[in-house]
């Protein structure tokens, strides 16, 4: 399963320069977890939010929200 199989994520990468390249550099297990989380969303709004968050975080090379100490 790759980002190209998730069309809305591929579109979000276009709107966030550098995010696709950063996403592709994540470890396989991280990418798989992110994609499964997107695909398993039950509501379209939830899926859209997860896609948007993934693209935004990947732009900054984060695979998830940073945790404040």
Per the domain annotation, does 16 fall within a domain? Answer: yes
Per the domain annotation, does 50 fall within a domain? Answer: yes
Bigger pLDDT: 5 vs 22: 22
CB 10 within 8 A of CB 35: no
Nearest to 54 by CA among 32, 42, 67, 69: 32
Q: What's the pLDDT tens digit per position in 8-63?
A: 999 999 999 999 999 999 999 999 999 999 999 999 999 999 999 999 999 988 76
Nearest to 61 by CA among 37, 29, 30: 30
The predicted pLDDT at position 12 comes to 94
Per the domain annotation, does 67 fall within a domain? Answer: no
Domain that holds residue 34: 3-59
What burial class does residue 40 get, using C-beta atoms within 10 Å of its C-beta: 0-12 exposed, 13-18 middle, 19+ buried? exposed
Total of domains in the chain: 1
The predicted pLDDT at position 67 comes to 46
Per the domain annotation, does 66 fall within a domain? Answer: no
Per the domain annotation, does 68 fall within a domain? Answer: no
């Amino acid at each position: 399963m790759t980002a190209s199989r998730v069309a809305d994520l591929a579109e979000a990468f276009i709107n966030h320069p550098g995010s696709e390249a950063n996403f592709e550099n994540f470890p396989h297990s991280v990418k798989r977890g992110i994609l499964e989380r997107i695909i398993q969303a039950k509501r379209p709004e939830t899926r859209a939010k997860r896609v948007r968050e993934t693209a935004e975080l990947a732009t900054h090379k984060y695979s998830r929200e940073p945790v404040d100490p």
